[in-house]
Amino acid sequence: MADSFPCDCCGICCETLIRLDVYNDLDDGTGHCRYYDRISHLCTIYEHRPEKCNVMASYKYYKDQISLEDYIAINVQGCNLMKSTVYKGLHRVTV
């Protein structure tokens, strides 16, 4: 059973904020998070990032409705879907 989200720090979630209103406060106007470093593809405030950006911290809002294992699986599936729309082969496509 998985007990943590297997983030590979690709940064895709930080590049696609334009699609989700809940992240409007973090959008730099281009759909990228204002704390996202476009060179390293890492969050510049990772250790202090908002709770909504932390899959595991957000689980507390869903724990009465879904198991941790299923919650992680759903988030992995969403992550993979985002990657499949941004990556074409091995080449990163600008969103």
Q: What angle do CA 39, 72, 83 make, to 5 degrees?
A: 35
Nearest partner of 76 among 15, 18, 10, 24, judged by Cα: 10
| E runs forming strands in the chain | 36-37, 42-43, 87-88, 91-92
**pLDDT confidence band for 1 (50 / 70 / 90):** very low
- Alpha-carbon distance 40 to 70, whole Å? 31
pLDDT tens figures, 30-79: 989 999 999 998 999 999 999 999 999 999 999 999 999 999 999 999 99
**pLDDT confidence band for 95 (50 / 70 / 90):** very low
Nearest partner of 78 among 4, 2, 12, judged by Cα: 12
Is residue 94 pLDDT above 50, yes or no? no
